[in-house]
C-alpha cells in the first residue's frame, strides 16, 4: 500500500530510490531544509479543509513537515 504522507512514490527517483527531501539536504543543507519544512507545514495548515476530501491528508502532511522542521525524520519509526 502506498503511503502518500510519509514516503510518496512520486517523491523518489526510481533509478536510485533517493527521496527528494534527502536530495534537498544534500544540495542545500539541513538548516535550509528545516526552514523549507516549516514553510511547507504552514502551507498545508493554511489549505486544510479547503480541498474536497483532502483535509486529513493536509493535516497529516502538516504534521510530517512540522516534525521534519524540528529535526526529526518522520519516515523512521524511532523519529530520529
Per residue of the chain (80 residues), give pLDDT as tens.
Answer: 666 666 666 556 657 778 889 999 999 999 999 999 999 999 999 998 887 766 788 999 999 999 999 999 998 877 56
Q: In Å, how far are 5, 22, 59 from 17, measured between CA atoms?
A: 17, 10, 26
Full-model pTM: 0.77
Residues 64-79 as b/e (b if ≥16 CB within 10 A, e otherwise) read: bbbbbbeeeebbeeee
Amino acid at each position: 500500500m502506498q503511503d502518500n504522507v510519509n514516503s510518496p512514490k512520486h517523491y523518489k527517483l526510481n533509478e536510485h530510490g533517493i527521496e527528494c527531501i534527502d536530495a534537498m539536504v544534500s544540495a542545500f543543507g539541513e538548516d535550509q531544509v528545516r526552514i523549507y519544512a516549516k514553510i511547507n507545514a504552514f502551507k498545508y495548515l493554511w489549505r486544510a479543509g479547503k480541498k474536497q476530501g483532502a483535509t486529513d491528508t493536509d493535516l497529516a502532511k502538516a504534521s510530517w513537515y512540522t516534525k521534519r522542521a524540528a529535526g526529526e525524520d518522520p519516515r523512521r519509526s524511532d523519529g530520529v
